[in-house]
Every structure is written in structure tokens, then in C-alpha cells.
Structure 1
Amino acid sequence: MKDTNKHQGLRNQLVKQLQDKGITDVNVLEAIRKIPRHLFLNSSFEDFAYQDKAFPIGAGQTISQPYTVAFQSQLLEVKKGDNVLEIGTGSGYQTAVLVTMGAKVYSVERQNELFKSTSLLLPKLNIRPKHLSFGDGYKGLPQFAPFDSIIVTAGAPIIPQPLMAQLKIGGRLVIPLGDKEQIMTLLIRKNETQFEKHEFGEFRFVPLLENKN
């Protein structure tokens, strides 16, 4: 598992690209600068790992393009020590970005193949989320709630009610909403019953699947 000066140089170029596209959160940019994205991909994609593109990772899933990871992470406004729920661990790359930003990450993955491979990979890279779970992301992780923020890394037709319930007052939920194409949506919880909603344009994600387990 090598991370070379060449890889670091490519990451520096990627960070510059993300800045040019409007990513300004220094913690997000520094996490992307540090994390060896090529190690989260099949070795056949290694030469392309620092392009701003999504790639397949198995089980019909993808690793999101770096801009999407950075955009969602920036919307979360993560502070060191925040408890963050991630729905869709996938390759573990988004998890690694959040952990590197100082979050305590609780992550749920519903594809057993990905759950197993990512559970093995992250410790090898010295990335230590608080909790990795195999299960239905629609249900969240009520036993660890409430969360400072929640990130959903797959397209959802609706906002799952259990996730809204597991968000702290003042907390931020970032979710791509829609079927074929998704609108990046931010909900900020104002009180027990009210949420403020913001929309940030179209993105494309694999669908958030429910109740397979």
C-alpha cells in the first residue's frame, strides 16, 4: 500500500482543481490533500485516482467524485469532535475525509461485500471511525443519536424520517434528493418540529436502497 511523492503531487493538483470549483473549507481541502484516494480504488484505476471522477468499487456502487465528497463535506460544517452519521460507507473514502477533519464518524453500509472490505482497509490506513455498521441506512443508528450532522452518500427519493429524528437541534443533514438525478439538499434542524431547507443544484448518485437485509 504505497503512497508516493507522485501521488502527493497529484493530490495537490486535485486540491487546486477543487478550489477553482469553489471549495473553500480549509479542513476539507487539507483532508483531501492527505488521503491516498488511489488506495480506495481497484488497482486498475490507480492511474486515474486523482481525476475529479467517480469510479466503480463493486456491488453496483461507486466512489463519488472528489468534488462531490468535498461539496457534501463542506455543507456539513464539521467541527473537531462532532458526531457525524454517514449513510453509505461505500469505499470508505468519504469516511476517511470526515475522520481526518476531526469528526467522530458512525457509518452504515448495506452491501456486505463493501462493509467487509472497507472494515479491513480503514485500519490499515490508520483511519479509525467510531463505529462501522452493516445494515439499513434508512433506519440510521438510533442507539448513537443524536448526531451533530448526517451525510447521505446515495440518492434518496425522500428524506427518511428516522434520520431527521436522529439529528440534534442546530444539526445539519446533507442528502441528495431525487430518483434519476438528485438535488443536493441541506436541512438544518431549528427545533423539535422545524427544519430549514436549502438546495444546491443537481448531482448524480447511485440510489439509496432500503430493506435488503
Structure 2
Amino acid sequence: MIHVLLRTADPARDRGDVSRLCAVLAAADNLDHAGERGPARFTVRDDVLPCVVEGLLEDPVEAVGLVLAVIRTGAWVAGLVASTGAPDPDRGVGAGEVEAAVLERVLHRAAASTGRCALELDGAAGDASARRRQDAAEAALQLLGVLEQRRSEPQQEAGRLVESGASQREAAAALEVTQQAVHARLRNGLWHETRSLAAAVAALVAPSSRTTDP
């Protein structure tokens, strides 16, 4: 399971504002206004830091996508904690929530980074190979966070249309620009490169990549 940790960038101002914490979930791709979709579950964690939401997802691709969508708003920092354990689905997030010390460590690291994100893998503290995977995945995730924040809205719109299945010609028609303009937005926004890197991060986070070593 993948734990997604979200914290407002200014917790002193947003302390106790649960509505804003839930609003970012509703605004993120693939989530409805209840803050839930499929296997995803979210809860407010106020036992360690103020203004924290924890989500539990099964799909690492969706987890990485959610983190990037949150970072892009500029108002949030995010962390990923990949766990090999399977919580009781009848008990919700509380059955498998991240330990307080881990939550605090990951979110503090996220807040201190330029990419506004951090990542931790189960077992990395005592396994040199797992630690190397964690460091590589976190470095890539933070680079993605920087690029997401720097991508312009026109570049983002073009990328989303193409990612949803539109051709560059169809995207150009929808955006009322030339196909050459769409191509330039995708190129200058590093759209294809960041999607490939996001997939690589998700693969490193996936439990199957961490259960055994060659």
C-alpha cells in the first residue's frame, strides 16, 4: 500500500481548516468531491502536525500522480510512504496509518526541499539496497515536483489533452492554437520526459520491486 501525506505549506495560517485540506483532494485528478475513489481512503491526521491529511492507495501510479497534482497548486507539500503491509479494509486508514515519527520526518523533509515532496520505503533504514532505491526514487520525485511547479498552464493543458488520448491535431483544435504550438508546449514543458520519469518512480515505489533483490 502507498500512503500519501499532504500538508498545507503554511500550517500556521491554515491550522484546523479541514475544508481546505479536503478541497485539494477534490481538485486533484481522479478524485471525486467526497475525497474518495476506488481503493483510496483519506483521513485528517492531527496527532503529530497540524493540517495533515493521509491517504491510502493501492496504485503507485495514482499515488505519484496525486502528489504531483498537489505540489502543482503551490499551497501544499506531499510525502509518499510505501508499505508492504496490507491494512484491514474494514477499519480504514487508522488500521495502517503511518507512524507519527515517520509522518513527521517525511513531511519535514518535503517542506525543506525545492520539489516540495519526499519519499520513504519500508525497510530502507536497515537495507543498503533499499536505501539506494529510496534515495533514487526521492531524487526523481523531487525533480518532478520542481518541473511541475515550473510548467506553464498552457503547457499543462496541452499535456493533459494528449495524455487523455487526443492527438496533437485534436489538442490544437480544442485549445484553438496550431499543431505546432501544441508540439512546442509539450516539448518546452518536458511533458513526455516527466511522464516517463513519473512511471519510473512509481515502479520503484511498487511493492513488487522491493520484496526481493536479484
TM-score by length of 1: 0.25
Structure holding more strand per residue:
1
Structure holding more helix per residue:
2
TM-score by length of 2: 0.25
